[in-house]
Amino acid sequence: MDQINKVKSISIWIFIVPFIAINTCLILITQFHDLFPNKEDVILATFPYFDGGASISRTARPYPTWLIFKPAMFLTSFLLVKYWLFNRDIIHYFSKNHKYINKIVFFGISSAIALTIHSVFLGIKFDNDFYKLFRRVIMLSFIIFEIVAQAYLVATFYSFRNKLKNYINARFLNLKIILVTILIIVALISIPIISLPGDNFMGLNLKSLKHALEWDYFLGVISFYLLTFFMWKKSN
């Protein structure tokens, strides 16, 4: 069916676009300091996936990196909406009126909306506690909605996996289940850690830990779509 090919083609771009965007921002702000009019924005060499030297927002909000980040996130949000709608059609084809289908569409599209809102407000500064809380809630909403949608989707496909055996590489469906399980476990473990006040706890640099977790977790979330690309066989 045509929707399978559409999901396959869209999913690889949902991985590539944000991956290239955030890492391009990282390279520019750490290696090409002359591009930044405000020298306070530049960051010395860091590899935040390991050392947590900066958050994603810190690398993406200054000029000119936001010129890369914001359009990339808007495009990713658009592709996410298409992705979840095409998956709805696939589920309808194999298991009409599946009990999870409305939840998948709701949480999937909501995650795209939250990503769009976060991108719109990135770099806009207000010295207001409510505004800061609003931004944190939006970012947290994106993560929660995305993980819930992914969990419901893999559970749905697994529930009628025998009908899909000619359409998917089952190994990658299992890998997606493992990935989502890890993301859920990490999220549950991380919530108490990121909720701790201050930047240090028992000698542990919480700020760096939070930043490293942010980069690695975002990579895990978008890797779901890379696995989607490999899971579906090309449909004739």
Sign of CA dihedral 160, 223, 194, 200: positive
Q: What is the pLDDT of residues 98-123, one digit of tens each?
A: 999 999 999 999 999 999 999 999 88
Query: What pLDDT, on a 0 to 100 scale, did the predictor assign at position 234?
Result: 78
Q: What is the pTM of this model?
A: 0.93
Q: How far is CA 156 from CA 11, 99, 178, in A?
A: 18, 9, 15
The DSSP output letter for 205 is: E
Query: What pLDDT, on a 0 to 100 scale, did the predictor assign at position 203?
Result: 65
Q: What φ, ψ does residue 232 adopt, rounded to 5°?
A: -80, 130
> Percentage of the chain with pLDDT > 90?
78
The domain segmentation of the chain, as residue ranges, is 2-231
Query: What pLDDT, on a 0 to 100 scale, did the predictor assign at position 197?
Result: 65
Query: What pLDDT, on a 0 to 100 scale, did the predictor assign at position 192?
Result: 76
CB neighbour list of residue 169: distance below 8 Å, 6 or more residues apart: 230, 231, 232, 233
Spans in the chain with pLDDT lower than 70: 127, 195-199, 201-203, 235-236
